[in-house]
Amino acid sequence: MNKEFFNNRRQCLALPLAAGLSALSWSATAQANWPTKPVRFIVPFVPGGTSDIVARTVASELTKQLGSPVLIENRGGGGGVPAMQEAARAPADGHTIILEHVGSMAGSHMKSC
């Protein structure tokens, strides 16, 4: 094979790669800074338990990484359902997260059987 074939092949492979990389850089510049306000971290358990300790550890690290406060809201009771409802009713702006476990989500399906 000749050199011209290899040059054309490289160019054909480089063009989609360059187009893909340029598209990625364009989308990154189009995104707004996040978070624009404190992040709500809903914990469906009472303060002082293992899940609360995990949530506070995660919130502390998130605060460092994001540069914005992460506020813990404990909503214990009801098998986690009230906390799930609170998270579902929150504005869909990406500033509310919830620490949940499988038991709360699977429980409602088990009750309907």
Read off the pLDDT of residues 34-80 as tens digits, 9 standing for 90 and up: 899 999 999 999 999 999 999 999 999 999 999 999 999 999 988 88
DSSP label at residue 32:
P
**Quick one: pLDDT at residue 74?**
96
Q: Which residue has the tokens 């500033």?
A: 95
Please check whether residues 14 and 57 belong to one and the same domain. no
Domain carrying residue 16: 1-31
Please check whether residues 21 and 64 belong to one and the same domain. no
Domain count of the fold of the chain: 2
Please check whether residues 46 and 25 belong to one and the same domain. no
Amino acid symbol at 36: T
Give the dihedral of Cα atoms 24, 30, 33, 39; nearest 10 deg.
-80
Does residue 91 surpass a pLDDT of 90? yes
Q: Supply the pTM of this predicted model.
A: 0.66
CATH assignment of the domain containing 51: 3.40.190.150
| Half-sphere exposure at residue 80, Cβ-oriented, CA atoms within 13 angstroms | 15
Mean pLDDT estimate for the chain: 80
Please check whether residues 2 and 57 belong to one and the same domain. no
Please check whether residues 63 and 99 belong to one and the same domain. yes
